[in-house]
Chain A
Amino acid sequence: MSVVKLSGDSSCPVTPHLNSGCGFPAPNAEIFFLEPYATLNIFGMDFVIGKTSILAALVSIIVATFFLAAARPRKMIPGKLQSLGEQAYLFVRDQIAREVIGKDGDRFVPFLGSLFFFVWISNLMGVIPGAQFPIMSSLAFPVALTLMVYLTYMYIGMKTQGPIKFFTSAMFPPGVPKAMYVLLAPLELLQLVVTRPVTQAIRLFANMFAGHLLLTTFTLAAYYLISPSVIGVLGSVTSFGVTVVLTGFEMFIQGLQAFIFTLLTAVYIGGSLHAEH
């Protein structure tokens, strides 16, 4: 029995096999930092063009093209494409906007719909062969989307309730003993200004990050374990089976996370529109 070398050993290939005497190359956070294709220096800032940004541009084009193509020409009797687009629109309107915000949620459907489909297709890139990188596992993308949502509900809240009433209604929820406000008011303010946007971004990011890491681990294991032995064949086949099952599970999570992201956006907008009473 030869000594097992660590996976970081320079004599080991990047993806070794079981019988090569190299340890299992467990993936870590490094797999999310892809080599950039090009770096542009504009106004002293580095703009990196890599797989992530190209995929993100592709996703926006796909989503925009689909809805533009589905919406024109708009016919009384919809064709296949138009009814698919209508189904997508109705899903966001009935399941998210009207359910959470209420009747006046209709004017937020374009915003919520764009968010939902952009996030969903971006997540879906994690399992589409050839792309296989969930865009939302780069923290910058969830943060940018959350910033948009944050500014939107802050603006709506201050506009409909007035800047002071917006904060006081959140800080002093009715039906609480007066003495409790000493404890509750700072917590509610922190929740409104800091916790909400931070958790909304982290939730989406961490889900995609964890899912991609899990898929990579089992895919690498299936490759690593291939060898002409009983353990090798059994382990490799099992790992591959787990990869297939996890891919299905991951697709479910991707849809769910896009739904949750949009749902929370709707809840926050609804909270800004109607003060708690």
Chain B
Amino acid sequence: MSVLAEVTGSIGSIGYGLAAIGPGVGIGIIFGNGVQAIARQPEAYGVIRQNMILGFALTEALALIGFVVPFVFGA
């Protein structure tokens, strides 16, 4: 099969950019809703903050995997 189109250059950077979209939106939602929850119920600050950080950590992993993969599988 002949190659019709080819992308060269720092594809890893583009891959990281793409990988960061989802977690970016997700982290925004998590902290936005977390702050709103704290504003509505300041006495539940401890529990909310802990769950907020937990959700942040789980979401952030995706972006970080996108960052590391080009280093691991890159040329």
Interface residues of A (CB under 8 A from B): 28-29, 95, 99-100, 199, 202-203, 205-207, 209-210, 256, 259-260, 263-264, 267
Contacts and interface: CB of A to CB of B under 8 A. Distances in A.
Interface in B57-72: 57-58, 60-61, 64-65, 67-68, 71
Contacts of B71: 28-29, 209
Nearest to A259: B53
Contacts of A206: 64-65, 67-68
A-B interface, 4 closest residue pairs, ranked by CB to CB distance from nearest: A206-B64, A260-B57, A199-B61, A29-B71
A207 B67 CA distance: 10
Question: Do most interface residues of chain B lie in helix, strand or loop, or is the interface mixed?
Answer: helix
B50 interface: yes
A113 B73 CA distance: 35
Contacts of A202: 61, 64-65, 68
B9 interface: no
Contacts of A209: 67-68, 71
Contacts of A29: 71
Given A202-B61, A205-B68, A99 B54 contact: no
A205 B68 CA distance: 9
Interface residues of B, number: 14
Contacts of B46: 99
A267 B54 contact: yes
Contacts of B57: 203, 260, 263-264
Nearest to B66: A206
Given A29-B71, A210-B67, A203 B54 contact: no
A64 to B, nearest CB: 27
Interface of B: 46-47, 50, 53-54, 57-58, 60-61, 64-65, 67-68, 71
A249 B46 CA distance: 23
B53 A256 contact: yes
Contact of A207 (B54, B58, B64): B64
A181 B4 CA distance: 43
Nearest to A210: B67
A153 to B, nearest CB: 16
Contacts of B53: 256, 259-260, 263
Contacts of A205: 68
B62 to A, nearest CB: 9
